Structure 1
Amino acid sequence: MARRRPKKLDQLLGSQRLQQFADYSEHYTQWQQLLRDCFSQLGLDELAPHCEVIQLNAPSLTLKVSSAAVGQRIKTEQGRIITYFQTHATPVADRIEIRIRPNRSQLSQAPQKAAAKQAPTESDTVKKLREQAALCEEPLRSQLLALADKYSADETN
C-alpha cells in the first residue's frame, strides 16, 4: 500500500477539525468561567475546584465532578444552577447531567490516607481505658482498670 504524503501546514491550519477544536476550546473556557461565576454568586465556592463543565448542549448541562458527595450537592442546588445558566448562557439548559470521575491525584492519595488511619496501638487503648476509668464511678471504674491492666500485661508478654 502506498504511503500518503504529509499534509502541508496550510492544509492543517485550515482544516475543519482544527477549527472545531478551536471553537470547542473557546466554549470550554467560557463555560468554566460561567460555572465559577455561578458558584460564586450562589455561595458554592467550595465546589468550584471539584467541578467542571464538559458540555453545554440545548437540553442539558453536563458536569464532571470529583466525587459522589459533590455530585449530590450539585443535584440539591440544581434549580439555582440551571436558572443561572438559563440567564447567562447561550444554549439553554433544562437539566444537569453529572459524571463522577475522580482526579488521578485523589486516587493515588486514597491508599496513603488509609495507611495513615491505622488502628490504635494497644498502648493507646490502655491509655484511653485508664482515662475513661478516671471519669467513671465504681464498679465500672474497677472493671475498666482491670481491663487496662490485662491489655498492658499482654503488651509486655
Structure 2
Amino acid sequence: MARKRPRNIQQLFSSQRFQRFTDFTHQYQHWQQQLQQCLAALGLAPLSQHCTVVSVRAHTLIIEVPSAAMANRLKLQQQRIITHFQDESTGQITQLEVRIRPSPIEASEQAVSASKTPPPKVPAEEVSVVTQLREQAARCEEPLRSQLLALADKYEQE
C-alpha cells in the first residue's frame, strides 16, 4: 500500500477543517467575552472566572459552572443573560441551559474531606454500656425491654 506524501504547512493551514476550527475558536472567544461583559453588567463579575460558555445550539446558550450555587445565581438572571446575548447579535437565543461540572480539584478535595471523618468512638468500658442498656430496659415496656436486654447480653458475652 502506497503512503501518501505528508502535507506541507501551507496545505494544512489552507484546509477547510482548519478554517472551521479557527472560526469556532474565534466564535468561542466572542461568547466568552460576551458572558464576562454580561456578568459584569449584572454585578456578578466574581462568577465570570468560574463560568464558561460551552456552546450555542438550537437557540440555547449552554453555560458550565462548577457548583449548584453558581448555577442558581445564573438561573435567577436567566432572562437578562438571554437579552444581553440577543442584543449582541449572537443569534436568536431563547433559552439558557446551565450545566454543573465540578472541577476535578474540588471534587477530589471533597472526597478526601469526606474520608477524613473519624470513625465512631467505641465506649471505653463495655461494662458501662451493658449497665446503661439494662437501666434503659428497666424503664421501657415490652417488646423494647426484651430487645435491650438481649443486646446487653450480647455485649456481655463478647
Residue 50 of structure 1 corresponds to 50
Query: TM-score, normalized by length of structure 2?
Result: 0.66
Structure 1 gap segments, 5+ residues each: 123-157
Partner of 2:154: none
Residues in 2 aligned to 1:47 and 1:77: alpha-carbon distance in whole angstroms: 12
Cα deviation, residue 37, structure 1: 0.7
Q: How far off is 1:65 after superposition?
A: 1.4
TM-score, scaled to structure 1: 0.67
Aligned residue number for residue 105 of structure 2 = 105
Deviation of 1:95 (Å): 0.4
Q: Is this contact kept in 2: 1:61–1:97, CA < 8 A?
A: yes
* Amino acid in structure 1 at the alignment position of 2:26: E
For residues 61 and 14 of structure 2, the distance between their equivalents in structure 1, rounded to whole angstroms, comes to 30
How many residues are treated as equivalent by the alignment?
121
Q: Measure, in 2, the Cα distance between the counterparts of 1:74 and 1:90.
A: 19
Q: Secondary structure at the match of 2:109?
A: helix
Match of 1:86? Answer: 86
- Looking at structure 2, the residues matched to 52 and 85 of structure 1 have their Cα atoms a distance apart, in angstroms, of 14
Structural mapping, 1:112-151, within 5 Å: 112-114=112-114, 118=117
Larger radius of gyration: 2
The gaps in structure 2 that reach 5 residues or longer are 122-158
Aligned to 2:59: 59
Q: In structure 1, what residue type is equivalent to 2:80?
A: R
Q: CA separation in 2, counterparts of 1:76 and 1:23?
A: 32
Return the alpha-carbon distance in structure 1 between the equivalents of residues 90 and 78 of structure 2.
Answer: 18
Partner of 1:3: 3
What's the CA shift for 1:28?
Answer: 1.1
Write the letter of the residue equivalent to 1:89: S
Report deviation, 1:111. Answer: 2.6
Kindly report the root-mean-square deviation, in angstroms, between the aligned alpha carbons of the 2 structures: 2.3
Contact 1:60 1:95 in 2 (8 A): yes
Poorly superposed stretches of 4+, deviation over 2 Å: 1-5, 111-116
